[in-house]
Amino acid sequence: MRMYDVIEKKRDGGELTDAEIDYFVSGYVAGDIPDYQASALAMAIFYKGMTAHETAHLTMAMAESGDMMDLSAIPGIKVDKHSTGGVGDKTTLVVGPLVASLGVKVAKMSGRGLGHTGGTLDKLEAIPGLSIEISEPDFFKQVSEIGVAVAGQTGNLVPADKKLYALRDVTATVDSVPLIASSIMSKKIASGSDCILLDVKCGSGAFMKDVDSAIELADAMVSIGEHVGRTTAALITGMDRPLGKNVGNSLEVIEAVATLKGEGPEDLTDVCVELAANMLNLAGKGSIENCRKLARQQIANGEGLAKLAQMVKAQGGTDEVIFDTTKFEAAPFRRDIVAETSGYITSMNAELVGISSVALGAGREKKGDPIDPAAGIILERKTGDYVEKGDVIATLLTGDESRLDEGERIFREALVFGENAPELEPLFFARVSKDGVERFA
């Protein structure tokens, strides 16, 4: 078999065989296939696409390129959730404990933030003492005993994806549904859970900007999951404006705690309840409607919050900050952003809000950049709100005063004002499962 022939076949629109896909993945990971040939195949896939069978096989070949976690030693059904990334998306911190408090195991491998989207691991590391580096035996023990653990990926989990993603990132081949779907699902399948819920974000702050492309991606990922025997569903959720009011690492932990106390913003609470309900439904806990009631019950009775504190303590964190969030270290420098005109906020570009938070130190522009855990943005007003000239729209926070001007400049770019109230985008657009696409809006 020659890589030249594999590239030529896909370039001409042919369907690759399982053997050809295996040859490419194993050869690329081993270093026998050079970057330039892998780039050529990625570009051919970008233009010609892949069938559902090809995409599923590519996913499994990538998943099996490194360690495959076998969670069968952990009793009960294990459910995982993956978000395609957004601004203010702290849902894992709420949903994981909620689901675990109802007896469903959540064994979650998460990632760090890059670009304008925040990462769950960075948020967790804003909690003093908490470690996301958990050995496999400790990970299994924690999930078995308290029902939830959120850890960083192991060094040898899906090496094919690490290598291929780095290449796609610099060859303009990221934006390909088969390659995105196989990248995400290879990590989810290698992580070993029985059921997978995908939160596919859609809007200005998301990778997928429109509903149809978000549904296309969701459908491809659900198809892969079901093809390899994992019960899989996806929700298409809105990311046209930031989720909740807080953007930034410790700020988002504080808001997640408020949500688990029943005091969180309505949009964040509704999204978390819907995600939790779908995870519980996949695990066989009843209809989605009944599971919504269960999730809201765990917020009202405080059991979701207690489970978060339990997880934090198990991972070496200081759980007293969960019970009293004023104990988080506050950023020393802050600036109020006031309205320069009266009117409705007709648009608040979520991507630019995210970029502003990165400029303040809350995210990283490239791998390895340090993060200021207390930096970020508190939104006092959002899309649809009416403001008078001089009203505070947001507060910027940072540990480095010199970052405030750039943070403000970018944040103001995100805002559009008008005389009339805008029609708000819905929070939920669709649900995708093996039974098809159910559109809500």
Active site residues: 82, 161, 168, 183, 187
In DSSP terms, which residues pair with 231 in a beta bridge? 195
| Residue 17, both tokens | 């065989």
Strands 231-238 and 195-202: parallel
Order of strands across the sheet that contains 343-348: 386-387, 343-348, 415-418
198: which DSSP letter? E
State how far the Cα of 179 lies from the Cα of 167, in Å rounded to an integer.
Answer: 12
Return all residues near 188 (Cβ < 8 A) that are at least 6 apart.
Answer: 80, 82, 196, 225, 230
| Residue 244, both tokens | 């909740």
For residue 149, count other CB atoms closer than 10 A to its CB.
26
| Residue 423, both tokens | 């029609």
**CA 276 from chain center: how many Å?**
14
| Residue 367, both tokens | 């791998």
User: What DSSP assignment string belongs to 231-257?
Assistant: EEEEEEEE-SS-SSSEESHHHHHHHHH
Handedness of CA 201, 363, 157, 50 (dihedral sign): positive
Handedness of CA 428, 183, 242, 96 (dihedral sign): positive
State how far the Cα of 298 lies from the Cα of 336, in Å rounded to an integer.
Answer: 35
78: which DSSP letter? B
For residue 348, count other CB atoms closer than 10 A to its CB.
25
Strands 106-110 and 148-152: parallel
State how far the Cα of 276 lies from the Cα of 295, in Å rounded to an integer.
Answer: 6
